[in-house]
């Protein structure tokens, strides 16, 4: 099966010519992982780059005591595993499937070769890395400058913005939110109840709806 139609939908490869896409399709492999499987282990050597085709993964650090911090959640079209291939250091974090997921995988040598040959891939990657650094800066700012209420408000706004700005349809547990904002599940549950009681959000089985955007923005320090 040719992977060209899948590759063409990946933003990183958006500017490649048909010939370059075909070349990439010859060297890329597809691979699937079930929900909860670990795709990359922190500290392992890096041997490949992954592009998410379907599903959702989380990039996590796991402490000695087993506590998890979610650095990022990546969806279809996003890539991961590039850092080890660029700086020759071990994997910087674990990457775990949050749903059954499928990927395009490029081996280290092939990826490095393509990076040298196709400047648009290198530029696309720099753009994505800049975006990740901005998000990491925002996150550090939030951890230092906001309380849990503000951090949860900020996360809810950014998850709604991934959708239509109002609804969060991605299923996300309080436990996961806690791991994303560096808090405990109990504190997040209390905060969510408080935000709902004040009419800032509405929580149903199917979605979280933003009811008072400006109040959430104020809480998030925007």
**Residue 92 or residue 149: which is nearer to ligand CMP going by CB?**
92
Per-position DSSP letters for 1-59, written without gaps between them: ---HHHHHT-GGGTT--HHHHHHHHHH-EEEEE-TT-EEE-TTSPP-EEEEEEESEEEE
Minimal distance in Å, beta carbon 136 to ligand CMP? 5
Q: What's the start-to-end Cα distance of the chain, in Å?
A: 48
Minimal distance in Å, beta carbon 70 to ligand CMP? 10
Minimal distance in Å, beta carbon 132 to ligand CMP? 5
**Residue 92 or residue 101: which is nearer to ligand CMP going by CB?**
92
**Residue 41 or residue 146: which is nearer to ligand CMP going by CB?**
41
**Residue 93 or residue 192: which is nearer to ligand CMP going by CB?**
93
- Residue 101's H or E segment, with its range, is strand 101-107
Residues that bind ligand CMP (CB under 6 A): 40, 46, 59, 71-72, 80-84, 91-93, 95, 132, 136
Pairing label, strands 48-54, 101-107: antiparallel
Answer whether 168's CB lies under 8 Å from 159's CB.
Answer: yes
Minimal distance in Å, beta carbon 202 to ligand CMP? 30
């Amino acid at each position: 099966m040719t992977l060209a139609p899948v590759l063409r939908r990946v933003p990183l490869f958006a500017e490649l010519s048909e010939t370059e896409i075909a070349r990439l399709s010859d060297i890329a492999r597809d691979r699937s992982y079930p929900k909860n499987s670990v795709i990359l282990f922190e500290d392992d050597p890096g041997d490949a780059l992954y592009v998410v085709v379907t599903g959702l993964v989380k990039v996590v650090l796991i402490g000695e005591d087993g506590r998890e911090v979610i650095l990022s959640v990546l969806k279809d079209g996003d890539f991961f595993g590039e850092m080890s291939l660029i700086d020759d250091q071990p994997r910087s974090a674990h990457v775990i499937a949050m749903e059954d997921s499928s990927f395009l995988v490029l081996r280290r040598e092939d990826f490095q070769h393509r990076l040298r040959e196709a400047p648009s891939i290198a530029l696309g990657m720099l753009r994505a890395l800049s975006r990740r650094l901005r998000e990491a800066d925002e996150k550090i700012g939030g951890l230092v400058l906001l309380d849990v209420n503000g951090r949860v408000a900020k996360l809810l706004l950014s998850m709604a913005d991934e959708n239509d700005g109002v609804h969060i349809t991605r299923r996300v547990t309080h436990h996961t939110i806690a791991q994303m904002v560096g808090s405990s599940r109990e504190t997040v549950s209390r905060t969510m109840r408080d935000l709902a009681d004040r009419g800032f959000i509405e929580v149903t089985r199917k979605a979280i709806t933003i009811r008072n955007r400006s109040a959430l923005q104020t809480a998030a320090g925007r």
